[in-house]
Amino acid sequence: MGDAFRRAESGTQLLARLEGRSSLKNLEPYLFAEEGFPIHGDVIEFHGPEGTGKTEMLYHLIARCILPKSGGGLEVEVMFIDTDYHFDMLRLVTILEHRLVQSTEETIKQCLGKLFLVNCSSSTQLLLTLYSLENMFCTHPSLCLLVVDSISAFYWIDRSNGGESFNLQEINLKKCAELLEKLVREYHLALFATTQTIMQKSTNSAESSFSLKLQQETDTDYRPYLCKSWQQMVTHRIFFSKQYNSGNSKTFSFTSCHIKKKQIVKRSFSIAECGVQF
């Protein structure tokens, strides 16, 4: 199917795609256990309960991407797939206004011109949208970042629609995950996706595909519930949680795990009006 699109590409589009996407290495070094991440093809999962700063962190990353180089950004384009109508444009604009030295309507709109938003109302629509977005990745060589907030939004509805069979329940998400992997690999993107903690920690350790030692080290309330195709394509998993300090100031913290190299780092951050601050 990808061949069909390649045949339809013009020569210039082909060159644009092969020229390579900009590097995202300096996107946010604090988020990763090692230097030099994320690289193209990375799939980063933000996992955590409500109110722990996942969406704020996404705004921080988006701001970093769409700001001009003079404002401390990477000047690349971002595709944001919003599955639960959660995206707050006014909040993003507030963050941009704080980060730009000279924030006028013009500059804000210029930055926002690099952001593309899609709303999906079902997992089927998500799948079809990903197919039609392929064209967009072809024609926009500066589109390096794909964000899905959140990929677990259809979990209960899919489970109910699938009836008794686990396969039927997971099939849409499995197809979405496979398609995402293909898009990320072919178009050299980095994918950030949030998943919500909607299950309690499993007492049955055999159920968890996350290695037991790693889980004990990270001490998180993580119970994998999405399909295996998704779990296996994640290269970095970042667990968010809230911390309550003695000084009555709330901070947030995350534990970042590099799945393959089994490296972990813990950091904390706070959220102010200008966004995430480390």
Partner 1 sequence: MPAPSQRKISIPLHGASCLPAWSASREAQECFSLVDFVSSDLEDVAQKCSLSYKALVAVRRVLLAQFSAFPANGADLYEELKSSTAILSTGIASLDKLLDSGLYTGEVTELMGAPGSGKTQVCLSVAASVSLGLKQHVLFLDSTGGFTASRLYQMLQARAEDEEEQLEALQRVQVARAFDIYEMLGALQELRDSLSQQVTSSTGPLKVLLIDSVSAVIYPLLGGKQSEGLALMMQLARELKMLAREFSLAVVVTNQVTRNSSTGPLKPALGRSWSFVPSTRVLLESKEATWEKANTQRIASLVKSSRQPTGIQVELDIGNSDAQELSPVTPTQGL
- CB 115 to partner 1: min, Å: 3
Whether the link from the prior residue into 224 is cis, omega within 30° of 0, is no
Taking CB under 8 A as the rule, does residue 175 contact partner 1? yes
Taking CB under 8 A as the rule, does residue 89 contact partner 1? yes
Closest CA to 266 of 249, 233, 241: 241
Q: Which is nearer to partner 1, 55 or 241 (CB)?
A: 55
Instruction: Please give the C-alpha separations between residue 226 and each of 41, 147, 197, 262, in angstroms, as whole numbers.
Output: 20, 17, 11, 21
Number of residues interacting with partner 1: please give it, by CB under 8 A: 56
Beta bridge partners of 267: 254
- CB 275 to partner 1: min, Å: 11
For residue 99, the one-letter residue type is R
- CB 182 to partner 1: min, Å: 11
From 25, 40, 159, 267, residue interacting with partner 1 (rule: CB under 8 A): 159
Taking CB under 8 A as the rule, does residue 132 contact partner 1? yes
From 13, 23, 103, 124, residue interacting with partner 1 (rule: CB under 8 A): 124
Beta-carbon contacts of residue 206 (< 8 Å; ≥ 6 apart): none
**Stretches 38-46, 153-161, 203-211, 260-268: which one binds partner 1 (CB under 8 A)?**
153-161
C-alpha span between 239 and 53 (Å, rounded): 10
Taking CB under 8 A as the rule, does residue 116 contact partner 1? yes
User: ∠58-215-156 over CA atoms, to 5°?
Assistant: 60
Closest CA to 122 of 98, 87, 91, 157: 157
Whether the link from the prior residue into 150 is cis, omega within 30° of 0, is yes
C-alpha span between 257 and 46 (Å, rounded): 11
Residue 44 DSSP SS3? strand
- CB 32 to partner 1: min, Å: 25
- CB 51 to partner 1: min, Å: 6
C-beta separation of 135 from 69 below 8 A:
no
Taking CB under 8 A as the rule, does residue 68 contact partner 1? no
- CB 165 to partner 1: min, Å: 13
Look at the block and give the residue holding tokens 């090692």.
Answer: 34
Taking CB under 8 A as the rule, does residue 166 contact partner 1? no
From 120, 227, 257, 259, residue interacting with partner 1 (rule: CB under 8 A): 120
237 to 256, contacts with partner 1 by CB under 8 A? 248, 250
Site residues, partner 1 (CB under 8 A): 1, 4, 49-51, 55-56, 66, 79, 84-86, 88-91, 93-94, 108-121, 124-125, 127-129, 131-133, 136, 153, 156-157, 159-161, 172, 175, 179, 196-199, 248, 250
